[in-house]
């Protein structure tokens, strides 16, 4: 994979209606949970982590509103004239919402403030674990040189009744009789990506890796470690170079630590100098939004100088597979330029008339 630059990012979660607020809460393990209208298998209200968008926004409209709010933050000030960019969306399986992927994508294209290019826009409605597929698709779009940049969106709501009922029935939601279950949450995150990996970028994705699980990676920890090692190797790094590891599946860390005795490779969780960020402790389980949210969190910390060396983002899935990506700071950390400047600069590379000032 070519190096992919993250130019801008935005997010809305239960602990913040913008990315800086969300990251501040995640950094300090803050949380905001409340009783939901739904009942668990024990007859008690389910505890969840809803975003502050109001109870009157329901069903698939919650996904649409969350995605549009995150897009608004990522975009920032309006562009003049705005380039028409594609969008790649990581979303949950949409059948429980009574709609299909094409309907949802068209609603986003119609309702967004920015004019998206429908020709390049895609939705991957496969739930958690589709981030590397989305990154690969974004790289293909950008490599065609038809577009200077691409929006990558992750959105999901596990508190929506259509999603929550199935999770409760499957016994995956936390409650008095299920201490190992997750707290359902919801989120949307957006990163604006390009192939302009330079000092003006927020962060650079320099290597990715994926392990599908199964023999010989029969445990989650083994699959996670293999994906991480692939990403580090593709970035030309070793684990001690990392300043932080971001992963939203706390249960995976226990399996990594259990590998310490049986495996000669030191588990990533034991890299002493690396900070660990577990967003789900604060945001709740956010499903298909989790991968893009992790990218946005790490990119913000790198762009602000909180992290000054490479960081690793690890992505869980709804099955045994695990994926990872290495992000590192841009060449330097200059004063931030408006996002419109970044897009217009990139647009000049694909639009000779714009470059000539015509």
User: Rounded to an integer, what distance in angstroms lies between the CA atom of residue 207 and that of residue 232?
Assistant: 7
Percent over 70 (pLDDT), the chain: 83
In the structure encoding, which two tokens stand for residue 159, read together? 């508190």
The region that residue 32 occupies, defined by phi over 0 for left and psi between -120 and 50 for alpha, beta otherwise, is beta
Contact residues for 61 (Cβ-Cβ < 8 A; gap 6+): none
- CA dihedral sign, ordered 158, 17, 344, 328: negative
User: Rounded to an integer, what distance in angstroms lies between the CA atom of residue 117 and that of residue 86?
Assistant: 5
Per DSSP, 332 falls in state -
Nearest 10 degrees: Cα torsion 108, 1, 288, 99: 40
Residue with tokens 């990139």: 346
The tens digit of pLDDT for each residue in 101-138 reads 999 999 999 998 888 899 999 999 999 889 999 999 99
pLDDT attached to residue 345: 54
Secondary structure of residue 321 in the 3-state scheme? coil
User: Rounded to an integer, what distance in angstroms lies between the CA atom of residue 208 and that of residue 205?
Assistant: 8
Strands (E), the chain: 4-12, 34-39, 45-48, 87-91, 122-125, 150-157, 186-194, 203-211, 244-247, 275-277, 311-315, 322-328
Nearest Cα to Cα of residue 15 among 55, 64, 48: 48
Per DSSP, 192 falls in state E
On whether the CB atoms of residues 130 and 124 are closer than 8 A, the answer is yes
Q: Which residues pair with 327 in a beta bridge?
A: 205, 311
Nearest Cα to Cα of residue 2 among 347, 324, 235, 295: 235
- CA dihedral sign, ordered 283, 133, 181, 163: positive
Contact residues for 110 (Cβ-Cβ < 8 A; gap 6+): none
In the structure encoding, which two tokens stand for residue 291, read together? 């991968």
The tens digit of pLDDT for each residue in 156-169 reads 999 988 888 888 88
Domains and CATH numbers, the chain: 4-194 (3.40.47.10), 203-328 (3.40.47.10)
More confident: 55 or 152: 152
On whether the CB atoms of residues 89 and 122 are closer than 8 A, the answer is yes
pLDDT attached to residue 91: 95
Secondary structure of residue 124 in the 3-state scheme? strand
Whether the pLDDT of residue 80 is over 50: the answer is yes
Q: Which residues pair with 88 in a beta bridge?
A: 122, 152
Q: Give yes or no for a cis peptide into 216 (omega within 30° of 0).
A: yes
Residue range 80-90: mean pLDDT, rounded: 83
- Comparing 11-15, 64-68, 80-84, 252-256, which segment has the lowest mean pLDDT? 252-256
- Comparing 168-177, 220-229, 347-356, which segment has the lowest mean pLDDT? 347-356
Secondary structure of residue 47 in the 3-state scheme? strand
Angle at 212 between CA 232 and CA 164, to 5 degrees: 110
pLDDT attached to residue 254: 55
Tell me how long the chain is: 358
pLDDT attached to residue 121: 95
On whether the CB atoms of residues 52 and 18 are closer than 8 A, the answer is no
User: Rounded to an integer, what distance in angstroms lies between the CA atom of residue 20 and that of residue 300?
Assistant: 8
Residue range 301-308: mean pLDDT, rounded: 93
On whether the CB atoms of residues 21 and 15 are closer than 8 A, the answer is yes
């Amino acid at each position: 994979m070519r190096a992919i630059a993250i130019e801008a990012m935005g997010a809305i979660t239960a602990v913040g209606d913008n990315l800086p607020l969300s990251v501040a809460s995640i950094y300090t393990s803050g949380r905001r949970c409340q009783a939901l209208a739904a009942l668990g298998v024990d007859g008690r209200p389910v505890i969840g982590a809803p975003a502050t968008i109001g109870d009157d926004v329901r069903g698939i409209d919650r996904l649409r509103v969350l995605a549009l709010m995150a897009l608004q933050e990522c975009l920032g000030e309006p562009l003049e004239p705005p380039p028409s960019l594609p969008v790649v969306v990581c979303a949950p399986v949409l059948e429980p919402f009574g709609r299909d992927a094409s309907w949802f994508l068209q609603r986003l294209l119609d309702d967004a403030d920015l004019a998206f290019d429908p020709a390049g826009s895609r939705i991957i409605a496969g739930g958690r674990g589709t981030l590397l597929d989305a990154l690969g698709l974004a790289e293909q779009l950008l490599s065609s040189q038809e577009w200077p940049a691409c929006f990558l969106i992750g959105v999901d709501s596990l508190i929506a009744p259509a999603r929550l009922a199935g999770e409760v029935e499957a016994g995956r939601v936390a409650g008095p009789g299920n201490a190992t279950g997750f707290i359902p949450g919801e989120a949307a995150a957006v990163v604006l990506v390009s192939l302009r990996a330079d000092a003006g970028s927020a962060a650079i994705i320099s290597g990715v890796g994926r392990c599908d699980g199964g023999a010989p990676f029969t445990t989650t920890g083994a699959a996670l470690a293999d994906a991480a090692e692939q990403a580090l190797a593709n970035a030309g790094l070793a684990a001690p170079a990392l300043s932080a590891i971001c992963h939203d599946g706390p249960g995976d860390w226990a399996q990594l630590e259990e590998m310490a005795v049986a495996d000669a490779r030191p588990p990533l969780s034991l890299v002493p100098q690396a900070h660990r960020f577990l967003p789900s402790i604060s945001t709740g389980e956010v499903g298909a939004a989790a991968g893009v949210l992790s990218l946005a969190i790490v990119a913000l910390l790198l762009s602000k100088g909180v992290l000054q060396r490479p960081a690793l983002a690890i992505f869980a899935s709804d099955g045994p597979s695990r994926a990872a990506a290495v992000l590192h700071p841009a060449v330097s950390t200059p004063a931030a330029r408006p996002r419109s400047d970044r897009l217009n600069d990139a647009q000049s590379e694909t639009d000779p008339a714009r470059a000539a000032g015509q």
